[in-house]
Structure 1
Amino acid sequence: MKRNLLKALFFTGAGFILLQHTASAQLSVTGQLRTRTELRDGQGTLPAQDAKASVFTSQRTRLNLGYSASRYRVFVSAQDVRVWGSDQSTISNMEGSKLFLHQAWGEMILSDSATINVENLSVKAGRQEIMYDDSRLLGNLDWLQQARRHDAIVVKFSHKGWAADAGFAFNQNHGKDTPGKNGNIYNGTPTTPVVPGTNGIGMMYKSMQYLYAARTMKFGKVSALLFKDDFQKTQTIEGVVTPVAGVNSRVTVGGALFSKITDKIGFNAAAYYQGNNDKLGNTLDAYNLTADASYSSGKFTTNPGFDYLSGNNTTKQSKINHRFDPLYGTPHKFWGFMDYFYVADPFGIDGNLTRSPGLVDYFIRNKYKANDKLIVILDLHEFYAANKLADSEINPTIATTSGRRLATEIDLVVNYNLFRNMTIEAGYATIFATDKLNLLKAPATTKQDHGQWAYMMLNFTPDFLVKQ
């Protein structure tokens, strides 16, 4: 009995050691638990005169499983997001909580030294994050607790500083082929309160295709993107919007430069054009220009720059839509932490997305890295409309002054690394608005001329197979 017990203990221990060795080489088991307590008093849109601030805590819980072999990789990430004390969570302040797969993909590796002698050639299929460059147009939107992912196939290539990806997606509501349930008609506008995507687009793409190429050199990186997303056509019958056969295709093309001129000075620039048709079939003619410089001196880095996103002339109607849409990127990173622009809440005359004047953002981002544990960020934004602003049609009593200046925003973030795999972050943002920003937010009623937002976030990212 005693000998059998010793044998069992021996083989159990040996198996555990073998499993641990195998796991450390091929298997990864990681997680994330991120809680964020927020005080919102005009975050996303200006508060009404008698509005009260709200306080709540949201939580993201993830379990990630990855496995790598010589010819393939597999990754699965399960995620739960909810607000404490409720079954409701928020995307665009409206989406309910969900327990769902954030990622679930497999990658087949085609490259090897015998037949295809490149650093990497692979095919990645399944639910996955799609991120490129600085996440301006394609990013995982990690700040949002739900984040962003796509159901897609991506062919990936990289060799000696060159990289090229080709991605494809095709969405359907179901796999049925029964009368009245034609699988070729995709309803990309789900039942409220869920609002897909960002930027107030309100409709998920039917399909998308893209080509991305980049070249990394000593001075930095140059990249190019060609992206097409197709939206199911719709028709309105007695006030009901119904999807019909056919798609409206939007094409975005452009490139970016990320350079390091000296050890202290950097320069980035990007230009993108958007054409063909918008989701409603209107002719699209829009563009985005951006440039910024950075200077680092010891622990301090300053980063001034500007963003220009074209918009519509709101003083007269046009059959051409000039509003640039920053696709599926990370607006929170670029246009202020208050999330007033290009997030789920649209901005345009009386809140009408089709009457968006576009945006000019002059910014200075500052970062101070006190040590390996403490980082302080202070960003300043000055927002202007890219076009003249028409008067309100819903509420003519709202009087606006001339000019295009919308607001000034100040964002402050303090991040402290408590110890390995655990950080604490606190932030405060405030916006000082002009009467023109009030005009651009729906409904067109008198609001306060400022908003504020604060948060405290704990982020645990354990690696379950690594001793801490």
Structure 2
Amino acid sequence: MKRNLLTTLFLSGASFILLQHTASAQLSVTGQLRTRTELRDGQGSLPAEDAKASVFTNQRTRLNLGYNTSRYRFLVSVQDVRVWGADQSTISNLEGSKLFMHQAWGEMILSDSTTINVDNLSVKAGRQEIVYDDARLLGNLDWLQQARRHDAIVLKFSNKGWAADAGFAFNQNHGKDTPGKNGNVYNGTPPAPVVPGTNGIGMMYKSMQYLYLARTTKFGKVNALLFKDDFQKTQTIAGVTTPAEGVNSRITVGGALFATITDALKLNAAAYYQGNNDRFGNTLDAYNLTADAAYSYNKLTINPGFDFLSGNNTTKQGTVNHRFDPLYGTPHKFWGYMDYFYVADPFGVDGNAGRSPGLVDYFIRNRYKASDKLQFTLDLHEFYAANKIADSELSPTGKAATTRRLGTELDVVANYSIFKNVAIEAGYATLFATDNLNLLKAPATTKQERGQWAYLMLNFTPDFLAR
């Protein structure tokens, strides 16, 4: 009886403290459970002639704990990602942990009315998502169940429509200073079957530094980005490649405009240049251009535009790499839901991303908001190579391509909010490919001319302290 009374008193006290925090909007406890059942029949790469479609369900389970005061902010986000049935009922020690820290950061606020009188001046350190604007080059890749995060420190400033962020990261495999484990050498390529990155880069950066500037007005937003990521050099001895001293540095610079012309018309444009060296140390000279317009009429929004990502003339080998890499953004959002370009699966002659001819994407995205709960999207993409496509010893015809056309993709999505914090989403995508696309997706063997993919997703996003 005494133990029960103490337990009751403890729980009552904890509940009282929790409610007090909630009332002052300091403590937040939210979560997510997102299941996605997929049918894949050529998602990511064209299916082989005798391939059969696969069906599976993957799940993300996430718990977020946040705490805000006038002097600091704090967030811990833990998530578990797995495919249903991948674990035995009793997990062996060889299975490994799928529970990992998605975010864990603290943000120290340096500005208030008694110090520097600006909207915000703060320092944010720890594991965090880095997302800017439309997530083209820097995004959290939320579509992927694992998502993306960085171990970094970011100095953040904003005041009266101006914003400036400076970010820094330095990666290491361990914290030891022992023979054979030099603290200056970083192995950024994890062992198989883990696939590093989502843009075919195959290696995590050793360090990165960036500066982001933005100005927001009633007419829209304009920004500029300077981003440098450094990759550990490698050496090959007796056929074995290992990390070596020094880094190869890649520099990306550019900006974007998000303009509101009228309530019904918006225009977006961006231009970025990549130079210095790629991760292998080759001279880099690449660029990305994009523009689109969005016109809304009643419940319908029509959004035509184009993307141009430079690439290499794959009919001949050169010493300069012209392949533009979309850094750490969200390829799934821009270049088709089938994920044929700039994801983990290589896009280039014989599957060599270094021999990628780049990409031109002419698209028209359509959104129809039937109600506050129901929305439909219909996207159409027409893909071309940005440069000449070489022949290949693995090509079914053994001949060079006569055109640059890669194929046509159609994406259809329906999203319905069942009630607050619970939504269901269904999608279907199909791609009609040319022989060129078969050639550029590894392995370049005889494949079907069409790929398709469908999914059904249930998304719970509870706010545990909401009243």
Offset, 1:156: 0.3
Aligned CA RMSD, in angstroms, stands at 2.0
Query: What does residue range 19-168 of structure 1 map to in structure 2 within 5 Å?
Result: 19-24=18-23, 25-87=25-87, 98-168=98-168
Give 1:301's aligned residue: 301
Give 2:224's aligned residue: 224
State the secondary structure of the residue aligned to 1:431: strand
Name structure 2 gaps, 5 residues minimum: 89-94
Q: Which amino acid aligns with 2:61?
A: T
Cα offsets for 1:196-254 (capped at 9, x unmatched): 11111110000000000100011100000000000000011122111000000000000
Classify 1:11/1:273 alpha carbon distance in 2 versus 1 (closer, same or farther; 3 Å): closer
- State how far apart, in whole Å, the 1-side matches of 2:386 and 2:261 are: 31
Q: Is the 8 A contact 1:81 1:97 kept in 2?
A: no
Query: What does residue range 451-462 of structure 1 map to in structure 2 within 5 Å?
Result: 451-462=451-462
- State how far apart, in whole Å, the 2-side matches of 1:16 and 1:114 are: 34
Residue 243 (1) aligns with residue 243 (2) = yes
Q: Is the 8 A contact 2:231 2:279 kept in 1?
A: yes
Give 2:388's aligned residue: 388
Q: Is the 8 A contact 2:395 2:439 kept in 1?
A: no
Cα offsets for 1:2-57 (capped at 9, x unmatched): 9x999997896576344312234211010000000000000000000000000000
Residue 255 (1) aligns with residue 263 (2) = no
Classify 1:15/1:406 alpha carbon distance in 2 versus 1 (closer, same or farther; 3 Å): closer
- State how far apart, in whole Å, the 2-side matches of 1:377 and 1:19 are: 41
Q: Is the 8 A contact 1:170 1:208 kept in 2?
A: yes
Q: Which amino acid aligns with 2:279?
A: K
Classify 1:274/1:11 alpha carbon distance in 2 versus 1 (closer, same or farther; 3 Å): closer
Offset, 1:350: 1.4
Q: Which amino acid aligns with 1:394?
A: L
Give 1:92's aligned residue: none
**Stretch moving more, 379-388 or 232-241:** 232-241
Q: Which amino acid aligns with 2:98?
A: K
- State how far apart, in whole Å, the 2-side matches of 1:163 and 1:433 are: 43
- State how far apart, in whole Å, the 1-side matches of 2:449 and 2:4 are: 75
Query: What does residue range 339-418 of structure 1 map to in structure 2 within 5 Å?
Result: 339-395=339-395, 397-399=397-399, 401-418=401-418
State the secondary structure of the residue aligned to 2:332: helix
- State how far apart, in whole Å, the 1-side matches of 2:127 and 2:70 are: 22
Q: Is the 8 A contact 2:385 2:404 kept in 1?
A: yes
- State how far apart, in whole Å, the 1-side matches of 2:217 and 2:322 are: 35
State the secondary structure of the residue aligned to 1:203: coil
Cα offsets for 1:352-405 (capped at 9, x unmatched): 111100000000000000010000000000000001111112346444651110
Offset, 1:87: 3.9
Offset, 1:96: 8.1
Q: Is the 8 A contact 1:195 1:203 kept in 2?
A: no
Q: Is the 8 A contact 1:44 1:338 kept in 2?
A: yes
Q: Is the 8 A contact 1:301 1:367 kept in 2?
A: yes
**Stretch moving more, 14-23 or 212-221:** 14-23
Classify 1:462/1:283 alpha carbon distance in 2 versus 1 (closer, same or farther; 3 Å): same
- State how far apart, in whole Å, the 1-side matches of 2:270 and 2:454 are: 31
**Stretch moving more, 173-182 or 235-244:** 235-244
What TM-score do you get using the length of structure 2 for normalisation?
0.95
Classify 1:238/1:364 alpha carbon distance in 2 versus 1 (closer, same or farther; 3 Å): same
Q: Is the 8 A contact 1:400 1:435 kept in 2?
A: no
State the secondary structure of the residue aligned to 2:463: coil
- State how far apart, in whole Å, the 1-side matches of 2:5 and 2:232 are: 67
Give 2:197's aligned residue: 197
What TM-score do you get using the length of structure 1 for normalisation?
0.95
